[in-house]
Structure 1
Amino acid sequence: MGHAQKRLASTAARLASSVHASSLKSFPPKEALAGPSASSKTKTPSSLAVKPNFFAADTWAALQPPTKAALSTFTHRIGLATTITSPDVVQQACTHPTFIPLFERHNPKDPVPASNANLSALGNSLLGLFATEFVNATFPHLPTRVMKAAVSAYVGPTTCSHIATEMGAQSLLRWNRTSNTPTRPAVLHADAMASIPRALTAAVYQQHSLLSARKFVHKFFLSREVDLRSMIKFRDPKLALRETVSKFGREKPVSRLLKETGRFSLSPVYVVGVFSGADELGEGFGSSLKMAEFRAAEDALLRLYLTRQPPHLVQLPSSTFSSGVGDVFTASGTAIAPYTPGEIADSEVLYGSAGRTGTQVPGARTLAMSESAADIQ
């Protein structure tokens, strides 16, 4: 075996994990070993120095279509075998738009495969709809900026890419890496992988119903736990708590020292509680009174903003659509359950927080809580 054959054999072994075994039977193809054509040598003496036909094994592997068995296995693995019955739909969902120019360049006479451009755009809108109503109904007191961050954490590009990897869609993805241009950013592997769950969401909606698409999204996306606590940050929690308590018509917050130990040692610990009348709003500890008071005010705000609705009481607006097969305009049937709209909580932070520039918002109240660390009761 020559050097060229050994390199092709090693390349075939490396590509075996991403290309189906049936495609490796014809590897390497004829163009991989073909030299200059005989007809070109008879034309002119100068044509004898024809450049050899180089073969890119990675490009050949990227052009190989997935088999129907692989597509069927994928739909059974993610639980969509009875919803998406056509393998062509799954293949379209796994074909990124960047693959089309690559295919046309190497196969100009073959029909162009369908890409997931339209499905990905529709699926992205559906993911945003389902995630927004879920976060808003589950955490009714969440501020707007935090709610947007939570929606991105549930159904954002990074999450979609990770879910596609967990689904096992790497071997089915057909795409081509592109670089930055003045009009569009580069397309990386994670970006192409993120389009697959979006396209599958749209395919479930088109093949079955909106409620089936919502069930698919809740199963793969919204069933995950997201740490919302780390998304809420306060520059001045004492001032924010004062504004919040005043907005709800409660008594002014007062800080009280609950416990302490080691006041005259090198490692003192203080436990401070924030009260509005007789109700304790929050509690915090620290090595100083200021730190404990800061954490107590922050704990009181987090208890409000992270108040979670019990799962059996969560009602989603999308449940008002018909449960029949078809899109929302043609499906016939009744809703799953009667829907009672919940109240939209007014829990925005009203105090002026400093942005990246460090300057306060004009017109914002800047008075801090009157109780300083030295005045803690």
Structure 2
Amino acid sequence: MHKLLELRNEKLLRQALTHRSYVNENPEFGGDNNERLEFLGDALLTFLSGEYLYQRYPQMEEDEMTRRRSALVDEKQLARFGNEIGVDLRMRLGKGAIREGGFTNPNLISSTFEAVVAAYYLDNHSDINALRPHLQALFDSVPDNIVVSRSDVDAKNRFQQWVLANTGTNPPKYVTIQSGGLSHAPEFLAKVFVGDKEYGEGRGHSKKEAEKRAAVDALAKLKKSGLE
């Protein structure tokens, strides 16, 4: 078993592996799903991947580091990490999610991996140093020639740069809600605002994906208007 799955607090590990579809179908379970842990894990991975790139590539410019960080923590890559440590077959899913191929669903695997990262962090008394060697090993397994083309992976960053350079106001604000889908495959709608003005919207199977799509939509509208 991978070290990230070796927790002293077994209840915390169960929560990290439990999708809300399992909780919905098993009310007697009495535990929480992993969504709050997923939120924390996302923040930890964003920070630690940025720190990793800063230390490993001392000559790399900010723009490329931003794109590489996005590629390191996107859904596809996190799902690969999840498979590598054995998260995929340990997920606790509802029957509906299983019938729909949940054990091979990149969105579910990547979200569960984020939750496991957070659980390991909490299990080690919120000591971020405990995470570093395990995540560094996973980051090291990613080829140096990882695709870092300017695409929607850094759309949020590009839109924020445009806002700060052209409006002089606060950074963009994303408002994201679940707009449909099933319990194991939700769909989210995100809208991006600058002040009270809406600039774009997007949909995705995760909040991060929906926000990226909203930023892509905002940039496309700016380009169409000749403002980008």
- TM tier, smaller: 0.5 to 0.7
The answer (yes or no) to whether the contact 1:150–1:226 under 8 Å persists in 2 is no
Secondary structure of 1:128 counterpart = helix
Distance 1:147 1:98, change over 3 A: farther
Deviations, residues 20-68 of structure 1 (Å, cap 9, x unaligned): xxxxxxxxxxxxxxxxxxxxxxxxxxxxxxxxxxxxxxxxxxxxxxxxx
Q: Distance in 2 between matches of 1:134 and 1:114?
A: 32
Matches within 5 A, 1:1-377: 77-80=1-4, 84-104=7-27, 110-176=28-94, 189-208=105-124, 209-228=127-146, 230-231=147-148, 357=223
Alignment-mate amino acid for residue 149 of structure 1: R
Identify which of structures 1 and 2 has the higher relative contact order when contacts are C-alpha pairs closer than 8 Å and 6+ apart.
2
Name the count of aligned residue pairs: 149
Superposed displacement of residue 102, structure 1: 2.2
Deviations, residues 204-263 of structure 1 (Å, cap 9, x unaligned): 2111121001222112234422315x5257xxxxxxxxxxxxxxxxxxxxxxxxxxxxxx
Secondary structure of 2:26 counterpart = helix
Q: Distance in 1 between matches of 2:224 and 2:62?
A: 21
Structure index of larger Rg? 1
Higher helix share: 2
The answer (yes or no) to whether the contact 2:23–2:29 under 8 Å persists in 1 is no
Superposed displacement of residue 123, structure 1: 1.0
Stretches of structure 2 that go unaligned for 5 or more consecutive residues are 98-103, 151-218
Q: Distance in 2 between matches of 1:149 and 1:122?
A: 21
Superposed displacement of residue 196, structure 1: 2.2
Stretches of structure 1 that go unaligned for 5 or more consecutive residues are 1-76, 105-109, 179-187, 234-354, 363-377
Q: Distance in 1 between matches of 2:63 and 2:227?
A: 17
Alignment-mate amino acid for residue 110 of structure 2: A
Identity of aligned residues (%): 19
Superposed displacement of residue 141, structure 1: 4.2
Q: Distance in 1 between matches of 2:35 and 2:225?
A: 43
Superposed displacement of residue 150, structure 1: 0.7
Secondary structure of 1:98 counterpart = helix
Deviations, residues 272-329 of structure 1 (Å, cap 9, x unaligned): xxxxxxxxxxxxxxxxxxxxxxxxxxxxxxxxxxxxxxxxxxxxxxxxxxxxxxxxxx
Distance 1:93 1:146, change over 3 A: same
Moved over 4 A (4+): 355-362
Distance 1:218 1:98, change over 3 A: same
Q: Distance in 2 between matches of 1:122 and 1:130?
A: 12
